[in-house]
Amino acid sequence: MQQVSFNVVDRSGGSRAEIAEVNRLTIAGWAGRDQAAIEHHIAELAELGVKRPSTTPLFYRLGAELLTQAEQIDVVGVKSSGEAECVLVQTKTGLLVTVGSDHTDREVEAYGVTVSKQVCPKPLARDAWRFDDVAGHWDQLELRAFAVASNGERRVYQQGSVASLLPAADLLTRAPLAPGAAMFCGTLAVQGGIVGMTDGDALELELHDPILNRTLRHAYRVRALPIVE
């Protein structure tokens, strides 16, 4: 079980602290709504040697202890990278939505997708919204990620509407969340191809709500540990 804490911001801008104990973590993979976009992401990963999925979407079960709200994560080597995603967390007081990164070891991914996801921490923002506050305009939410090199160079890594992904309500029907469960809801294609993060590189994540004019943000840096043979 992993304990995470959120600053839950409501529609009016008010907030309250909430602690969630997560005992089940699911990653929704290949969760695109547009088959062409799915094929694009499959092609991106195929260049890294990753096999085609047996079906789409695919739900990967991982250890909840991977969730972290730290500003730095440790990874082995320089072949891992993140992906901005909406994250749903079912708490005792209701369903929350926040932004996180399905950080994945791309070299291991060629061997096994589930294993590659299990070997990396999953960064998560500290701010969250009530799902009910955004459910009515879910498709208008926007995901963004910026890759920041160790020398400070910053570029757009991912950007687009979540309307290109399966709706959260659809995912919840396929994989219902009991109290204490969390789910990453799928990601967008990256701009410029998937590149491994080296020591000191960072990823900035954003989930923007243009209707209520607010944004969830999180950033984390990678510390690449050496591979000793």
CATH number of the domain to which 151 belongs = 3.90.850.10
Q: What range defines the domain where residue 76 resides?
A: 2-225
What average pLDDT does this structure show over 9-17? 93
pLDDT of 42: 78
Position 54 pLDDT exceeds 90: no
Global pTM reads 0.94
Cβ pair 168, 131 in contact under 8 A: yes
Neighbour-count burial for 28-38, b at 16+ CB within 10 Å, e otherwise: bbbbbeeeeeb
Report, in angstroms and rounded to the nearest whole number, the Rg of the chain calculated over CA atoms: 16
pLDDT of 127: 98
pLDDT in tens, 128-147: 999 999 999 999 999 999 99
pLDDT of 45: 72
pLDDT in tens, 57-74: 999 999 999 999 999 999
Neighbours of 222 (CB within 10 A): 26
Position 159 pLDDT exceeds 80: yes
pLDDT of 218: 98
pLDDT of 194: 86
Neighbour-count burial for 165-179, b at 16+ CB within 10 Å, e otherwise: bbbbeebbeeeebeb
pLDDT of 197: 97
Domain tally, the chain: 1
Position 13 pLDDT exceeds 80: yes
Q: Pick the most confident of 34-43, 49-58, 105-114.
A: 105-114
